[in-house]
Structure 1
Amino acid sequence: MSKTSRPGLLHDPDFGRLFAATALGQLGDRIIFLALPLVAIEALDADEFRVGLLAAMTTAGSLLVGLPAGAWVDRVRKRSVMISADLVRALVLSTIPVAWWADLLTIWWLYAVALVHGVLTVFFDVSYVSFLPHLVGRERLMEGNAKLSAIRSVTSISGPTVAGPMAGLVGAPATLLASAAGMAMSGLLALTIRTREQRPEPSGHPRLGREIREGLGFVLGHPALRAVMAGDAIFNLFLVMYQTMLLVFLERKLGLQPFGVGLVLSGMGCGALLGALLAKRVSARIGHGPVIWLASLVTCPLTALMPLARPGWSGYVAACGLAALSLGGVVRVVAQSSLQQALTPDRLLGRVSATARFVSWGGIPLGGLLGGVSGSAFGATATLWVGAVGMTLSALPTFLSPLRTLHSLPADRDPEFAR
């Protein structure tokens, strides 16, 4: 059976290895998402502001190295960066349970680990997105992104389901050992991928500033990519405000234990998995551009169900709203990632990926801080309301762009989508 015939990319050995590495790495990442704030909340009794600051430190890497990371990644083979980032992240995370057992763990230790882990994650994500077109070819980007999103969604279900009971049984700090193991195994699996992209041609006089400006200019000068980045920036700012207080709300307002919190987050994973399975079909039926703004407009308002919830059945209804948010988010991200990869020349893949991350993720640390400040000043419930409204408004930039009527992935020379 040829590589291009059904059942598709999963029968390609190297894509299968990337698929398995993604599963293990994302499982570790999902465990971090639950366990790291729980370490602050339970083991260190951190207040709302400190939990928000921890969220900001986790994502501050996008601001610190977001733009230069793309230029550096474009100079080397992406697979090597992915492997190194995975292995070092695993090592850094393992210091938290060691410090806890030695009675040395402090909130500042958590901040430092979150910052280093976040910086390494920037390099990993930029390399990961840039490596996929080399591995599967541009004609199969939609299929590749959809399949990888599907396995990430599965780990979104299984990660909290594993992490919640594990945190209750052995403590949140020890749970991070499972996260470190997942990332280490991800790096070792990526080491077995045989496909090598060509080593980038070295520039006679590489200049970091000029390379950064080239990637930034390509993204900001492209109407479709510019709209996507603006919508993502708004969405991510308010999503992080929402998420920063979500765990506080679930534990302190709804009275959920770690197992219950894990079930709520697993429900979000179920929505994300359904979104990954439907993404290609929905994009084909609705149109590749309209699906990007419709996904947010339809699903984000449902996050308002959470601040309305009280202990009991209304909490389960609110969890369904979070699952819908994840469904729409994955459909949107698959469409956006495929659009970005299709429009970007090979030599700029790393820089465009890093620029997109910098622009759209740059507000995430601010979102964490604003979430903590808002939670301290007005409470978790009010912060969830602000986040729900802001996420809904994130559909405006793409609705007001050429993406409103785009029905299929354009060629990079399509005059309507040219710079």
Structure 2
Amino acid sequence: MTERSRRPLAGVLAAMAVSLTGTRISAVALPWFVLVTTGSTARTGLVALAELAPYVLVKAFTGPLVDRTGPRTVSSVTDVLSAVAVTAVGLLHLMDVLSFWLLLLLVALVGAARGPGDLSKEIMVPVAADRAGVPLERAAGLAGVTERLASTVGPAAGGAVVALLGAQTALFAIACCFAAGSAVIVLLLPARRGGSADRAAGPGPTDEAGGAEGAGGEPATPGPGYWHRLGAGFRFLRGDPLLLTVIVMVGVTNLLDAAFATLLLPVWARESGNGPGAIGLANSALGIAAVAGSLVAAAVGHRIRRRPVFFAGFLLAGAPRFLILAVDVPLWAVLGVFALGGFGAGFLNPILGALNFERVPGELRGRVNALGDSLAWAGIPFGGLLAGAAVASFGLAPVLLAGAAAYFLTTNLTGLRPEWREMNRKPPQPRSTVEEAADADAGAGTAPDGRGPAAEPGPTGDLTSARP
């Protein structure tokens, strides 16, 4: 493998690292900035909603745009937009002209840009891996390691920057991370002679009329319309029971994880007397162990049988965290269970990512990842709300026990369904290369995977959102 062939994969992973770190820092810095400047917890919660809601909604509907325009272009442009919006927040505050409603607008712009930006980087991974000759499981594992590191380092860095330099400085640090993500994509995935570098990460570019370019740059026949292309993603998911089942399962676990992280864990820390420091220790134990698990998965993931490892990982990562908080045990026991759960969680995203990359045609990755992400994240905003109502009605311990039962049933007993048997089988004609994804949205005929007309090929759901 030459240095040139490794460069695109290294570029995608580096861009993911800096952009995700910026996103994780913003999760600490933005709420704190609002809290210290307005003194209102209600406004702080409203700002968090203003960022998350556009993230999910815009990501759901920009899949066809990413597939048509190309992920390299979308990634670099949205990173720049994110950097500009965050910088504007900081500068307008310095000039004392930042109203709360303008802040909401700029934060919503950040969320709207982060959705397609993160999506674009996800779908560049399999093609960059193909060019580098890296197994999909290993590439997915490296992407998982990158995400886990950003999730572990980002909040810690955000807290340190806010504590030492203030929330204002943290905003400019976030903007620098987003700008660096755009620069990495431009420098390490440069445009090729005779076409965009997007050809290395998805379908070819389009002319101004919306049609795909031909081999010599001349406009080809215009492709199907936006809603037809978006509908192709739904039709593919409906026709792939395994992907659809995984997305629904991950959606349920994401809701449970959101309830756990945003409400159940803080309530436990207060009622147990361990205090907020225990929250940081527990999350650090889980995050560090998850990085270790992802590293192991990246090294040996292409040699393991996915199904038993997948369900064993969920068995460790899910219900035990709920159960350990429901009983009176020392803090070191809680940290041990969180570390064990984190190690198991480290194997999940590499397996889900490889499954996703293998089963979804390249020309549909944008819209299916977008749809899958939105379905998998749909319950997250409601997790804390539902958990709060449940704890107020029944108390903490019964809700923790119910959460453990729901997690176990969702992630293990559902594994008895017949579609899970396909997890260890690679599809007969994997579609991971650019050449296989070149013209399905622009032409007629039968799709190479035999699923139907080329105008209605199949997409991929973001199966990489499993997240304790």
Corresponding residue number in structure 1 for 2:84: 91
The offset of 1:176, in angstroms, is 3.2
Which residue, out of 132, 135, 145, partners 2:125?
132
Task: Report the aligned-residue RMSD.
Answer: 3.7
Question: Does the 8 Å CA contact 1:127/1:350 hold for their aligned counterparts?
Answer: yes
Corresponding residue number in structure 2 for 1:194: 190
In the alignment, is residue 255 of structure 1 matched against residue 248 of structure 2? no
Which residue, out of 406, 421, 426, partners 1:409?
426
Corresponding residue number in structure 2 for 1:19: 13
Letter in 2 for 1:67: A
The offset of 1:277, in angstroms, is 0.9
Query: CA separation in 2, counterparts of 1:306 and 1:34?
Result: 27
Task: Return the structure number with greater helix share.
Answer: 1
Q: Secondary structure at the match of 1:137?
A: helix
5 Å-filtered alignment, 1:36-55, equals: 36-39=30-33, 44-47=38-41, 55=48
Question: Does the 8 Å CA contact 1:130/1:349 hold for their aligned counterparts?
Answer: yes
Which protein is bigger by CA-based radius of gyration? 2
Letter in 1 for 2:198: E
Residues 282 and 303 from structure 1, CA distance in 2 versus in 1: closer, same or farther, beyond 3 angstroms?
Answer: farther
Residues 352 and 295 from structure 1, CA distance in 2 versus in 1: closer, same or farther, beyond 3 angstroms?
Answer: same
Corresponding residue number in structure 2 for 1:303: 321
The offset of 1:217, in angstroms, is 1.0
Residues 205 and 10 from structure 1, CA distance in 2 versus in 1: closer, same or farther, beyond 3 angstroms?
Answer: closer
Letter in 2 for 1:354: A
Query: CA separation in 1, counterparts of 2:354 and 2:363?
Result: 17
Question: Does the 8 Å CA contact 1:159/1:266 hold for their aligned counterparts?
Answer: no
Letter in 2 for 1:360: A
Which residue, out of 376, 393, 417, partners 1:400?
417
Query: CA separation in 2, counterparts of 1:141 and 1:269?
Result: 23
5 Å-filtered alignment, 1:192-341, equals: 192=187, 193-194=189-190, 196-198=197-199, 199-200=204-205, 202=212, 204=222, 206-245=224-263, 248-249=266-267, 254-256=274-276, 263-280=281-298, 283=301, 287-304=305-322, 307-308=325-326, 314-341=330-357
Query: CA separation in 2, counterparts of 1:390 and 1:42?
Result: 38
Letter in 2 for 1:357: D
Query: CA separation in 2, counterparts of 1:142 and 1:273?
Result: 16
Query: CA separation in 1, counterparts of 2:58 and 2:421?
Result: 32
Alignment gaps of 5+ in structure 1 = 4-8
In the alignment, is residue 358 of structure 1 matched against residue 359 of structure 2? no
Alignment gaps of 5+ in structure 2 = 192-196, 206-210, 213-220, 432-450, 452-457, 459-468
Corresponding residue number in structure 2 for 1:59: 52
TM-score by length of 1: 0.81
Corresponding residue number in structure 2 for 1:34: 28
Question: Does the 8 Å CA contact 2:270/2:276 hold for their aligned counterparts?
Answer: yes
Q: Secondary structure at the match of 1:335?
A: helix
Q: Which string of whole-angstrom CA distances, capped at 9 and with x for unpartnered residues, describes residues 190-246 of structure 1?
A: 111236233156362531111111111101220110111111111112222222226
Q: Which string of whole-angstrom CA distances, capped at 9 and with x for unpartnered residues, describes residues 86-129 of structure 1?
A: 11112223344446556677776665444332222220122112
Residues 334 and 107 from structure 1, CA distance in 2 versus in 1: closer, same or farther, beyond 3 angstroms?
Answer: farther
Q: Which string of whole-angstrom CA distances, capped at 9 and with x for unpartnered residues, describes residues 390-412 of structure 1?
A: 44443144442422574353334
Question: Does the 8 Å CA contact 1:27/1:158 hold for their aligned counterparts?
Answer: yes
- Higher RCO, 1 or 2 (CA under 8 Å, sep at least 6)? 1
Which residue, out of 132, 146, 152, partners 1:151?
146
Which residue, out of 160, 165, 171, partners 1:165?
160
In the alignment, is residue 115 of structure 1 matched against residue 108 of structure 2? yes
The offset of 1:39, in angstroms, is 4.1
Query: CA separation in 1, counterparts of 2:4 and 2:403?
Result: 37
Query: CA separation in 2, counterparts of 1:376 and 1:107?
Result: 32
Question: Does the 8 Å CA contact 1:238/1:388 hold for their aligned counterparts?
Answer: no
Q: Which string of whole-angstrom CA distances, capped at 9 and with x for unpartnered residues, describes residues 340-393 of structure 1?
A: 111111221111111211221222233354456667877888776665554444
Q: Secondary structure at the match of 1:297?
A: helix
Question: Does the 8 Å CA contact 2:326/2:400 hold for their aligned counterparts?
Answer: no
Question: Does the 8 Å CA contact 2:323/2:404 hold for their aligned counterparts?
Answer: no
What number of residue pairs does the alignment pair up? 406
Question: Does the 8 Å CA contact 2:56/2:115 hold for their aligned counterparts?
Answer: no
Does 379-388 or 164-173 show the bigger shift? 379-388
Once the two structures are aligned, what percentage of the paired residues are identical? 25
